[in-house]
Amino acid sequence: MTEPTGSGAAAEAASLGEFSRRAGEFLDSAIPANWSELEPAELIPVAREFQAALYDAGFAGITWPAEYGGQGATAAHEQAFREQAAGHDLPTGPFVIGLGMCGPTLVDLGTDRQRERYVRPLLRGEEIWCQLFSEPDAGSDVASLRTKAVRDGEDWIVTGQKVWTSGARHADFGALLARTDPDVPKHAGLTMFIVDMRAPGVAVRPLRDMTGRSPFNEVHFDQVRLPADAVLGEVGAGWRAAVTMLGHERVSLGGATRRRDEPLGAANLARLARENGTAAVPQVRAELAGLHAAERALELFSVRLRQEAESGTPPGARGSVGKLGGAMLLWQALHAAGEIAGTDAVAWEPGDEAAEELAVAINAVPASSIAGGTNNVQRNIIGERILGLPKEPQVDRDVPFRDLRVGTQRETT
């Protein structure tokens, strides 16, 4: 971002100050009371209403292009809002996938009609999106997916299964990656589609994870018919579309706004250390200092990526640095929590909501190293695309998908 000078700098600072003040006032008054106590199905209408208010107040899609419903403001405005939001717990969870991954990909690759149709309703919270990539037999090797889309006249017929799909139960639309040509190598025969999650043939089944909650789902497609204009990007260019979305996903996951009072945040763990008398223990102090420094470093890295994106430099593989850094930060916080809370981190008295929230957060940490691509996948990307290290051997890179007999592709397709 260009550094402002002279009176321009003063004007921008005043503008940012006013923007930040308005954001603080909005958040102080507009967040629904006790929303975190709602069941997921009860939360959806509350979240939609809040997201609409957020949009109407000018705080949704802050850096998104104005012609598609965004605010057209700067990364500095985005950061100013995030700093205000960090002091609050926002009911925006249902929109994380849509706003962090699907929406930016629609802006990048969608047709004018698709942008006009989908982006503004997404920003207003009228429609919820999910990402349909992972499959039971593909895992982190997304290009090995087997859900297929076959031409039928102008339409496409989709058959297959996705898994670990966050928020699919409440989603109105999904960004689906499907195989459209099994006669070419696995990366070349994919296409991305926009899927109406209420269409005939789409079935969603919740999955319960080790926290006891059901944020994930498996999604089955049984002869689901999609129109020709459901293609997002180009036919056969699904891998490029997937890389675009995964880049947004990694920036979103690595640069997510962290509440100042979140259970595994340095500030909350420091408070817990003061309460239980461990704040003076050298090991605890070292853990907390290291955690605070890591939080701040990741935050500044995310700010830099957003500023560079605003000036026309996409994050590319550096999104993997943020994603990996975010996952490693949670493991670091998990270790600090163990030093501070001991057995209280895994057992609590009934009704102690803070202790229960800490335990749930701890149980969710392992998923951070898997969701959005495993840590080792991120390390491979960083090594090959940023550090220029030799690529790993890929024996199936040039083999038509139909002939693959390695890894997860041992069965006849």
- Domains in the chain: boundaries: 13-124, 129-236, 257-373
Q: What is the pLDDT of residue 280?
A: 93
Residues in the chain: 413
Specify the amino acid at residue 163: V
Instruction: Return the pLDDT at 413.
Output: 43
pLDDT for residue 304 is more than 70: yes
The model's pLDDT over 112-144, given as tens digits with 9 standing for 90+, comes to 999 999 999 999 999 999 999 999 888 778 888
- Fold of the CATH domain 13-124: Butyryl-Coa Dehydrogenase, subunit A; domain 1 (1.10.540)
Q: What type of residue is 61?
A: G
Catalytic residue among 249, 287, 349, 392: 249
* pLDDT tens-digit readout, 273-298: 999 899 999 999 999 999 999 999 99
DSSP states along 69-114: TS----HHHHHHHHHHHTTS--S-GGGHHIIIIIHHHHHHH--HHH
Percent with pLDDT over 70 in the chain:
92
d(CA 75, CA 278): 39
- Cα distance between residue 200 and residue 233, in whole Å: 24
Identify the burial level of 357 via C-beta atoms within 10 angstroms of its C-beta, where 0-12 means exposed, 13-18 middle and 19 or more buried: middle
Whether this model's pTM surpasses 0.85: no
- Please report the pLDDT score of residue 255 as a whole number: 59
How many C-beta neighbours within 10 Å does residue 313 have?
A: 11
Establish whether 18 is a catalytic residue.
Answer: no
Question: Are the folds of 13-124 and 129-236 the same?
Answer: no
In which band, very low, low, confident or very high, does the pLDDT at 352 lie, cut at 50, 70 and 90?
confident
> Which pLDDT does position 2 carry in this prediction?
39
The domain defined by 129-236 carries CATH number 1.10.340.30: no
- Residue 1: which pLDDT band, with cuts at 50, 70 and 90? very low
Is residue 24 pLDDT above 90, yes or no? yes
Compute the half-sphere exposure of residue 346: CA atoms within 13 Å on the CB side of its CA.
Answer: 8
Return the pLDDT at 405. Answer: 65
Phi-psi region of 61 (alpha: psi -120 to 50; beta: other; left: phi over 0): left
CA separation, residue 405 to residues 161, 174, 239, 400 (Å): 20, 30, 21, 10
- Residue 256 makes CB contacts below 8 A (sequence gap 6+) with 96, 100, 326
Residue 204 has pLDDT above 60, yes or no: yes
